[in-house]
Structure 1
Amino acid sequence: MYNEKEKTARKTSVGADGGQPIQTNHNEIIPEPDTESKCFEDSIVQTERDSNPANLSTVTMRELYETVYQSRPPVIDGLLYSGTYLLAGAPKVGKSFFVAQLAYHVSTGKKLWEYEAHQGTVLYLALEDDYQRLQERMFRMFGVEGTDKLHFAVCAKRLDDGLDGQLEKFVLEHSDTNLIIVDTLQKIRELGGEAYSYAEDYQIVGKLKEFADKKGLCLLIVHHTRKAQSNDKFEMISGTTGLLGCADGAFILHKEKRTDSAAILDVVGRDQPDQRIHLVRDEERLLWGFDHADRELWKEPPDPLLAKVGGFITSGCSTWRGTATELVSALGADIKPNALAMRLNVRAGRLLNDYHIKYENTRSHAGRIITLTLV
């Protein structure tokens, strides 16, 4: 399902997207295969490469740019993306209330503080609670306004005893699932001794990450911090560094004093900028409110080429199909056809997320054909 060729592009990291300006002057034109024999030769080479287990599977930089990867839109813009994340904090610091808040906002699509949430089905494994406690908590936080897209479970199998099968079945039944919360890690990890090695910690997060990556969703794991203090708050995550080393990102929720209503949420990750968010708890509703952040959320500047495509594909002309040369002409863009195709290959995810236009670049007997569809 993922890393497949000729589908919409994977959501790339903020830093990666920001470092790819439009190329308006290319000295080298990449040849486009346009004959049946070339397609046949390529398929034979690919088959021989994949069929021999001794071969190391590689792609060239050119092949990388010529491929369109599966899109993974963010779960919450600038805060939470597809992949596996840890949320760690001291016991009773308010982690469960925080993830309940995340779950509600994603399942309803309502904005969380200054962050846009993308609606989808959410599964919340509240494995340290019961349904009566969840009922009271959710009513106190959100009142009687419910949603059918937020599902709770208070018991689940361990990771070595069928949890992956349970999650697989849920996602098959709810294809729009974009967030699964596991509260807590200790409730699902394999039975064993109290002391875990780096390899064991890396492996357990790796199993969860494999599932999240395969399904293109976010899996958020609630965990604890150790009592020992550290200048780097992320070194306080209980266990070895294997947990954070394998995860795509982490959140640390901590207070100066346990009795404080204010808390700090430190955020690191592969797909979002490092952040420190200052929160204040509403003691009546038990909601975490946004006070301020130590740095403004970086927003990627507009891409003129994508804006041209967005203006070209409208409700009046919702589908277009043709070659890269024809698209350059239709857009009136000052860019070579192959450069335009590669640019759109890389930026297809943003084209879908920002302009709701699905981009496909497929090979036919006549050459490569671009299809743009308003979805």
Structure 2
Amino acid sequence: MNEYQNFPLEPQPIVRKPSLHTVSMTELYDMAFPPRTPVIEGLLYSGTYLFAGSPKIGKSFFMSQLGYHVATGTPLWEYPVRQGSVLYLALEDDYGRLQGRLNQMFGVEAVDGLHFATKARTLADGLNGQLEEFLQCHPDTRLIIVDTLQKVREAGNENYSYSMDYQNITALKLFSDRNNVAILVVHHTRKMEASDSFDMISGTNGLLGAADGAFILQKKKRTDPTATMQIVGRDQQDQELTLAFHQERCVWELTRAEKPIIRKTVEPFILKIAGFMSGRGEWTGTASELIGLVPDIGMKANTLTRKLNVNVSSLFNDFGIVYIGNQRTSDRKTFTLLRKQEPETGDGMTMNDD
């Protein structure tokens, strides 16, 4: 008999597969994500935003104005607009009122890309499914307006909790992020004043906490012809605009912007790649091959790949170049640069001469 047979074995550690998925900084820089595209440069980007103001202040007029400018691609005041289809869920209106409002604002020049619905499901009953169906029929959609949040949030007690508010906006944000569209959710402000205007959004902080940004439209007095619009967001600079309401045309006009749009500086290597792609529709190769063709890029191959990964939005929004990275073959790691059909306007963006 083996003299060690009855000795207890040393316990072996149990190795479990980690339930928490993590990404290292190195792995993160090796990823390429879809570009964040502006709907209105400096004001509105893809994502989910709140638009809050007191009742009857002119929110619905501004929503119609916004939808019209995006559908036609015409600049809103001094801000360039990226053209695309618009879905306006005017859930507190009827079609007759919408017709009269649009005629007063824009005359009878119809716009095919601006679509309206006066009834929709709630978030709990399948609103996202309805929005998916609309995008399948209109894949060029850039903006969805939900007027108002109260009409689509889950039915129940009027005293909404932080978690419920957060959940409602998160459901819309997941949709906007997945489909690279902007969703603008119209909501009300409460009567109680606050030192921070965004604390006046009706409901809990869960609404703003889950959203990508917010717009607050305010007047000092209801009879004032002017209003201020304050804007905060993850993808744009904080801004305050002074607006005047045109009584005859029922449109909002910009009278003053607190500060000009700060445009991000384009990195020099992006300019060199844009020059390389001038006259080319498509190019596929490795980072080393591109450096050989554009030697004054002035960086190593692995650095160039990471720089391209983190500048996907700049390539697309500023120069209309689609970057498709991480294409692996048996012995090569390649990427593709694909120029859009409208390189001068950046996929439909109406740009200033500069």
TM-score by length of 1: 0.84
Give the 3-state SS of the residue equivalent to 1:278 in structure 2: strand
Residue 83 of structure 1 corresponds to 47
Whole-angstrom distance in 2 between the partners of 1:68 and 1:162: 31
Which residue identity is paired with 1:106?
A: V
What residue number does 2:352 align with?
none
Q: Distance in 2 between matches of 1:353 and 1:79?
A: 15
> Secondary structure, in 3 states, of the residue corresponding to 2:288?
helix
Q: Which residue of 2 is the match for residue 253 of structure 1?
A: 217
Distance 1:259 1:348 in 2: 46
Distance 2:266 2:336 in 1: 22
Deviation at 1:96, TM superposition (A): 0.5
Match of 1:327 in 2: 290
Which residue of 132, 140, 143 corresponds with 1:176? Answer: 140
Which runs of no fewer than 5 residues in structure 2 stay unpaired?
Answer: 1-15, 341-354
Structure 1 residue aligned with 2:333? 368
Alignment partner, residue 133 of structure 1: 97
Q: Distance in 2 between matches of 1:185 and 1:350?
A: 33
CA distance 1:319–1:164, change in 2 (3 Å): closer
Q: How does 1:164-203 map to 2 (within 5 A)?
A: 164-203=128-167
The 1-side partners of 2:136 and 2:225 are apart by 40
- Amino acid in structure 1 at the alignment position of 2:98: L
Deviation at 1:55, TM superposition (A): 2.1
Q: How big is the alpha-carbon RMSD for the aligned residues of Structure 1 and Structure 2?
A: 1.3
Give the aligned partner of residue 208 of structure 2: 244
Over 6 Å off, 4+ runs: none
SS in 2 for 1:296: coil
CA distance in 2, matches of 1:241, 1:373: 42
* Alpha-carbon distance between aligned partners in 2 of 1:346 and 1:352, rounded to the nearest angstrom: 12
- Report the count of equivalent residues: 323
How far residue 199 of structure 1 moved from its aligned partner, in angstroms, is: 1.1
Task: Quote how far apart the aligned CAs of 1:271 are.
Answer: 0.7
The letter for the 1-side match of 2:328 is R
How far, CA to CA, are the matches of 1:177 and 1:79 in structure 2? Answer: 18
Determine the C-alpha separation between the residues in 1 that align with 2:161 and 2:151.
18
What is the CA-CA distance between 1:155 and the residue it aligns to? 1.0
Counterpart CA distance in 2 for 1:84 and 1:373 is 28
Counterpart secondary structure, 2:115: strand
Q: Give the counterpart of 2:126 among 148, 162, 180.
A: 162
Matched, 1:276 2:252: no
The equivalent position to 1:124 in structure 2, one of 81, 88, 91, is 88
Shift of 1:370: 2.4
> 1:188 and 1:370 mapped to 2: Cα distance?
42
Aligned equivalent of 1:344: 308
8 A contact 2:214–2:233 mirrored in 1: yes
Unaligned ranges ≥5, structure 1: 1-50
Residues in 2 aligned to 1:142 and 1:115: alpha-carbon distance in whole angstroms: 19
Q: Give the TM-score, by structure 2 length.
A: 0.89
Q: Contact 2:50–2:214 at 8 Å: present in 1 too?
A: yes
Residues 275-321 of structure 1 deviation map (CA, whole Å, 9 limit, x = unaligned): 00111111110110011111121111232111101111122x32222
Letter in 1 for 2:199: E
Q: Say if 2:34 and 2:312, in contact at 8 Å, map to a contact too.
A: no
Distance 1:164 1:97 in 2: 25
Partner residue of 1:145? 109
Structure 2 CA distance for aligned equivalents of residues 299 and 71 of structure 1: 16
The answer as to 2:182 corresponding to 1:205 is no
Query: What residue in structure 1 maps to residue 270 of structure 2?
Result: 306
Read off the aligned partner of 2:116 and give its amino acid letter.
F
- 1:67-94 residue CA offsets vs partner (Å, 9 max, x unmatched): 1111231111111111110000000011
The offset of 1:212, in angstroms, is: 1.4
Q: Which residue is equivalent to 2:12? A: none
Q: Quick one: distance in 2 between partners of 1:113 and 1:324?
A: 41
Q: Counterparts of 1:204 and 1:102 in 2: how far apart (Å)?
A: 23
| Structure-1 separation of matches of 2:201 and 2:31 | 38
Of 189-198 and 227-236, more deviation after overlay is shown by 189-198
SS at match of 2:336: strand
- Give the SS at the match of 1:159: coil
The 2-side partners of 1:59 and 1:302 are apart by 28
Q: In structure 2, what is the Cα distance between the partners aligned to 1:370 and 1:182?
A: 38
Is the 8 Å Cα contact of residues 229 and 242 (structure 2) preserved in structure 1?
yes
Distance 2:236 2:124 in 1: 31
**1:210 and 1:346 mapped to 2: Cα distance?**
22
1:113 and 2:77 correspond: yes
CA deviation after TM superposition for structure 1 residue 366, in Å:
1.9
Counterpart selection for 1:65 from 1, 4, 29: 29
